[in-house]
Amino acid sequence: MNDIVIVDYGSGNLRSIYNAFNRIGVNVKVSSDKDVLTDAEALIIPGVGSFGVAMNNISPFADIIKDHVDSDKPLLGICLGLQVLFESSEETIDAPGLGLLKGDVKRFNLDSNFKIPHMGWNQIKINDTSDNNLSILEGADNEYMYFVHSYYINPSDTEYITAYTDYAFDVPVAIGKDNLFALQFHPEKSGRAGLSILKNFVNLID
């Protein structure tokens, strides 16, 4: 198995993701070493906390991440690791994102029937109506995934949205664009269905 590396940039739930890969029999590395990240066959960007802090922490690795994607090697963003792939976020207006995906990140503005953060188990619905990359979501349609977030992605290129969940409206929760994948929910906390998504990601790696 070629190297899969979880980017350790000080804003991620590294241990739970690392353990999830162990549960499916896959050894991964956790590293902030630029040489290790550069040589990786696949990168995983986790994330918890605020957008601004995450962007400050990830900025030393921004060029490596962009070059990785440009080299057609798989990348998976999870939760805040999805949001930082976009151009900006309402959470921290003056902090630009990585800009690998066009669009921004918005705060939920919902009535009192819906709690913020959106936390807990929600069913996802696969978007198979456009020409996007659904490969890591094979078998995940209508499965329940675990969410914890107060902000949601607002892609300009809606054709790359691969899944939605219903939380007052159809919230986009997954992206698949060529070799770039990202999830708002936590596959590492989503039981069998989440582990299946991680297996699908591993299967993409040459």
Residue 174 · residue 163 · CB < 8 Å: yes
Q: Which residue type is seen at 179?
A: N
SS3 of residue 183 by DSSP: strand
- What is the identity of the amino acid at 9? Y
> Is residue 193 helix, strand or coil?
helix
Looking at the DSSP bridge assignments, the partners of residue 102 are none
Give the CA distances from residue 110 to residues 88, 103, 118, in Å, rounded to whole numbers and listed in that order: 21, 21, 10
Q: At what angle do helices 14-23 and 191-202 cross, to 10 degrees?
A: 80
| 103-107 and 151-155 strand pairing | antiparallel
Q: What positions carry a catalytic annotation?
A: 79, 186, 188
CA distance 40 to 123: 32
Residue type present at position 76:
L
- Match 């936590």 to its residue by tokens: 186
